[in-house]
Structure 1
């Protein structure tokens, strides 16, 4: 699956769920050319990019945030990669075969970890077994690695046995980062250091300020054979924490940054300055309701009314600064496994007046202060969204909250950075409505977020329990590849119909470059694609 959560700069795509593991988003446009090998490449330079927040722990298998996935990409590799057209290409594995519930791979020779030790098929098996074991609570179980997957090694051969059919198993493995033996033996150490086979090694951490990575020599096993011997690859990568998009845009223009993901009016400003950019299509607006018992979102009538009351086209226009489009599926990042329209037909119609009537009929009565209540309990909602969405995101959130207040809900708005927002969603649970996009290219990787064990014991942070969805995805998973697409889309329609989760805005996310070029792959910047330019 592809991610989106690509926004390491803007963090608009908060949870990166899968992306093109190797090189593949838009090749880039703007100053310096649109493809090919740019002239005046510079060796030995430092590449500085922005991220919107400190992810906290750097353990690459315990969080699916886009910030961590971007950082992990510098130090860790995956078993295979995915090209821009969706083709699976080599990574740590040189060949592979899927036969029903068995996946067989050959791990390449000469692959070394940052500590100089060899990476082996046995290490790969240990990674799969860790991520596939529910007891370890890896963020990637059921997402990149099927739940219950068991792996074994013999020489250079890795064999993964699946507990059930997984139609897009290779797409998931194309994103799952592999940890070296030393890291597997010391998970605590992974929180502040790296132990991977990737093109860079983490050499400095200043919390909430920056992360520094240094290029490894002799790296030849990158996505589809990428190496660190390419001319123009930076010697050092510095990832700076820059919470404010406008500040990041100003730093790009002044030369203080080489890359940042920017949206809205600041993006328009950078386009006017003719900066290079690489684009990754993404879902940026997705509305979730907390289904936990006792929360207003546990009432389907409330969820549907809150959704129905909004003019989603207007909210989308404000949220994306008129640069967005209406989503038609939950998976939006190309290459799409299952194109179609699972969203539009299921959206409630009628607007604010119809929503008021629906709540009246459901027993939610407005008091003298306009706030509705049922059985003595007022309709109060804590609405959380990403502060990194900038002024347009805040304006859209205020627009939605204003409509809901007219509906009769007492709404409390909370803007949080990506790290704090994920903490709220997965740990504290103190939220009722959230705007948090999950970006994928294949629908199977969303299943753990939309069903199954609830947070903190699983990825189902909204505590969704929709039997019709579960029935549909169970049927879809039994069908090979695209044969199951109609059923996967039917499952998504069920969720929108019940207002369990509602996608409302797509937007091309542009990562801008200054004196550097790159492509967007599994994150905003594919590490092995970076080339530094003179000037």
Structure 2
């Protein structure tokens, strides 16, 4: 959604398809687990859990934003219809039973679920949620990602059932519903109330908002419908949760070590000193190096030859090494949020690899000729491009950007580096359109969730921020969507290969993002799991 565009970055870093990887993006039992010392500690009630986010999420409406931090904060206040565990198993959520038959999904709701304002959560509420997201005029970035396009829903409040029908429910419809937050009646009636508030069935209520500073949540009494029947009476759940906005990773690391935070998600040089402190760690493999191009009409990267030249000019293996401080691994799919619906390799055999001379030849053939100053130009217009990257990835991404900028300059490109935070990058991608190359990750757990980001309507009417028009991909994706579950994976991976081969998306680095904990332990599965947090007695 990440879009998370990527989770540590939405997440969406990840735009968020609104989409994370231990099995392969974020965790159960931290995917890394607690240290033996932490596991043996007693739990305590009434405590406050504080964690970091790197940018203010802005509008908190969970169905109107692709920002990964909106999705993360929303997990405290909202529940999905079904849950999904680290192994990809679908579990009860607000729905206790479900059936997928043809182009229909029928869900039976749990009885006794209430909203944060005390009103009952009904089947009619579910149908209204689905209708709002499905209505194109609302421009929900979740449409086509977590909910099939053309969805219609009917409710039977007496039976407590909802039936959703779509022209095509897609390969992984339940995986999508596991990521789709449900809003309660008051919020459905007044969407403006959701901008700086939450009206949901989740385990916490949003009780305080200080923009660009912190968001405070308070535990609900009487919540009994969490994963596997968990309730808020569970020993060790924090009474309050504070999400503090801390753009600087070193500051976040210092606060964690000093006790100012209970959890911090970090990459970069600060990781080593946190590892040395023997803290609880939840590990989350994540696609952190992913290159996108602005292919809008009139932009140089609309030409495949330019995209391929830019890609071949840089040594992607070296970029990955610099970005991840040597810890990275080559991506194999465009999905990165655990649990992955499809394992395999849609990247390795089709990604254009390093060949600077070939890159120069491609630009020459495309008419971008080097002038006396070394800068290439075409019809009197210089090849001037901007590289936008997310500063939340720390010094590693800055160093990698410096290396890429140096190489592209040698290629004859007049390149301008634009370090930005998550909000600024999302604003450019989905708003102004003022960008050429972007290093962001779009987080998804299943390949069908990527479709709206790589095809279809462009901003402001859609989420295809790169203005990608790849007919071969669209045809292959449509064929894959007719298949269900694991039977569709080969077809989906072949579709993804069309995007990578045509240099529409260039994945080049996976890394293991670590969320460190002090005084608490937790799980991280596509984001921090609120009901998994346990406060430890000092």
Cα distance in 2, alignment partners of residues 264 and 499 from structure 1: 28
Indicate which of 115, 131, 140 corresponds to 2:117. Answer: 115
| 1:86 corresponds to | 88
| 2:422 corresponds to | 418
SS in 2 for 1:491: helix
Q: Does 1:479 align with 2:522?
A: no
Aligned pairs for 1:220-299 within 5 A: 220-299=224-303
Indicate which of 393, 414, 422 corresponds to 2:397. Answer: 393
Q: Quick check: 76-85 or 479-488, which moved more?
A: 479-488
| 1:7 corresponds to | 8
Q: Does 1:528 align with 2:528?
A: no
| 1:352 corresponds to | 356
Cα distance in 1, alignment partners of residues 513 and 103 from structure 2: 36
Cα distance in 1, alignment partners of residues 416 and 135 from structure 2: 38
Cα distance in 1, alignment partners of residues 104 and 435 from structure 2: 41
Indicate which of 307, 310, 314 corresponds to 2:314. Answer: 310
Indicate which of 334, 337, 340 corresponds to 2:338. Answer: 334
| 2:126 corresponds to | 124
After superposition, the Cα gap between the structure-2 partners of 1:32 and 1:53, relative to the gap in structure 1 and judged at 3 Å, is farther
| 1:17 corresponds to | 18
Instruction: Say if 2:2 and 2:13, in contact at 8 Å, map to a contact too.
Output: no
Cα distance, 1:28 vs structure 2: 3.9
Cα distance, 1:409 vs structure 2: 0.7
Instruction: Say if 1:28 and 1:518, in contact at 8 Å, map to a contact too.
Output: no
SS in 2 for 1:406: helix
| 1:139 corresponds to | 141
Deviation per residue, 1:63-99 (Å, 9 max, x gap)? 1222111100000000000011101000000111000
SS in 2 for 1:159: strand
Aligned pairs for 1:353-392 within 5 A: 353-392=357-396
Q: Does 1:26 align with 2:27?
A: no
Q: Quick check: 25-34 or 62-71, which moved more?
A: 25-34
Cα distance, 1:22 vs structure 2: 11
Q: Quick check: 6-15 or 267-276, which moved more?
A: 6-15
Cα distance, 1:497 vs structure 2: 1.3
> How many positions carry a matched residue from both structures?
532
Deviation per residue, 1:211-263 (Å, 9 max, x gap)? 00000000011123221111110000010000011110111111110011011
- What is the root-mean-square deviation in Å for CA atoms of aligned residues? 1.9
Q: Does 1:183 align with 2:187?
A: yes
Aligned pairs for 1:161-172 within 5 A: 161-172=165-176
Q: Does 1:443 align with 2:444?
A: no
Instruction: Say if 2:340 and 2:445, in contact at 8 Å, map to a contact too.
Output: yes
Cα distance, 1:23 vs structure 2: 7.5
| 1:77 corresponds to | 79
After superposition, the Cα gap between the structure-2 partners of 1:414 and 1:381, relative to the gap in structure 1 and judged at 3 Å, is same
After superposition, the Cα gap between the structure-2 partners of 1:174 and 1:89, relative to the gap in structure 1 and judged at 3 Å, is same
TM-score by length of 2: 0.96
Cα distance, 1:342 vs structure 2: 0.9
| 2:472 corresponds to | 468
After superposition, the Cα gap between the structure-2 partners of 1:58 and 1:320, relative to the gap in structure 1 and judged at 3 Å, is same
Instruction: Say if 2:2 and 2:11, in contact at 8 Å, map to a contact too.
Output: no
Q: Quick check: 20-29 or 435-444, which moved more?
A: 20-29
Instruction: Say if 1:13 and 1:282, in contact at 8 Å, map to a contact too.
Output: no
Cα distance in 2, alignment partners of residues 232 and 277 from structure 1: 18
Unaligned runs of 5+ in 1: none
Instruction: Say if 2:11 and 2:443, in contact at 8 Å, map to a contact too.
Output: no
| 1:514 corresponds to | 518
Cα distance in 1, alignment partners of residues 139 and 75 from structure 2: 21
| 2:69 corresponds to | 67
Cα distance, 1:3 vs structure 2: 9.1
Unaligned runs of 5+ in 2: none
Cα distance in 2, alignment partners of residues 241 and 387 from structure 1: 14
Instruction: Say if 1:24 and 1:82, in contact at 8 Å, map to a contact too.
Output: no
TM-score by length of 1: 0.96
Cα distance, 1:335 vs structure 2: 2.7
SS in 2 for 1:439: coil
Instruction: Say if 2:7 and 2:19, in contact at 8 Å, map to a contact too.
Output: no
After superposition, the Cα gap between the structure-2 partners of 1:357 and 1:23, relative to the gap in structure 1 and judged at 3 Å, is closer
Indicate which of 399, 406, 409 corresponds to 1:405. Answer: 409
Cα distance in 1, alignment partners of residues 250 and 10 from structure 2: 11
Cα distance, 1:413 vs structure 2: 0.9
Cα distance, 1:30 vs structure 2: 4.6
SS in 2 for 1:486: helix
Cα distance, 1:162 vs structure 2: 1.2
